[in-house]
């Protein structure tokens, strides 16, 4: 049975916290599109999507907290907070991501809703 949207969202947020990046990428279909945040150029395919998550690799610590996940058919939306520590700096990003899934349970499209006010570096 294909992975269910809710399970994929939970797995996604777990992997954003722990890595490895390849396991995050494996949740995406090969030709998936990612717009993160909305308004920036759309990334198409695994190689382009990988660049998005590469910045996480240099964090000393990172964690995610899932506030809400809602599933409608083959789509899901998730409200969450990502925290990443780089040396003595802490970055906190609160966003809502939407995802569309194919029949195999892979993410085919992800769009991230967040703006400058939603990212705090302190």
- Any idea which residues carry the catalytic annotation? 12, 36
Q: Could you say whether residue 108 binds a copy of itself (CB under 8 A)?
A: no
Q: Is 39 helix (H, G, I), strand (E, B) or coil?
A: coil
Q: Which of 11, 21, 83, 98 binds a copy of itself (CB under 8 A)?
A: 98
Sign of CA dihedral 40, 106, 63, 57: negative
| Beta strands 28-35 and 107-113, pairing class | parallel
Least distance to a copy of itself from the beta carbon of 22, Å?
27
d(CA 31, CA 11): 20
Check binding of 112 to a copy of itself (CB under 8 A): yes
Contact track, a copy of itself, 10-49, x by CB under 8 A: ---------------------------xxx----------
| Region from 20-28, 57-65, 70-78, 82-90 binding a copy of itself, contact rule CB under 8 A | 70-78
15: left (phi over 0), alpha (psi -120 to 50) or beta: alpha
């Amino acid at each position: 049975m294909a992975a269910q949207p809710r399970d994929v969202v939970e797995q996604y947020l777990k992997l954003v916290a722990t890595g490895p990046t390849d396991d995050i990428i494996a949740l995406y279909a090969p030709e998936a599109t990612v717009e993160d945040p909305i308004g920036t150029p759309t990334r198409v395919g695994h190689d382009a999507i990988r660049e998005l998550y590469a910045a996480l690799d240099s964090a000393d610590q990172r964690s995610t907290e899932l506030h809400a996940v809602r599933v409608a058919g083959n789509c899901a939306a998730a409200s969450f907070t990502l925290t990443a520590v780089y040396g003595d700096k802490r970055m906190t990003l609160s966003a809502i991501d939407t995802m569309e899934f194919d029949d195999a349970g892979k993410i085919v499209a992800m769009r991230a809703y967040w703006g400058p006010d939603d990212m705090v570096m302190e």
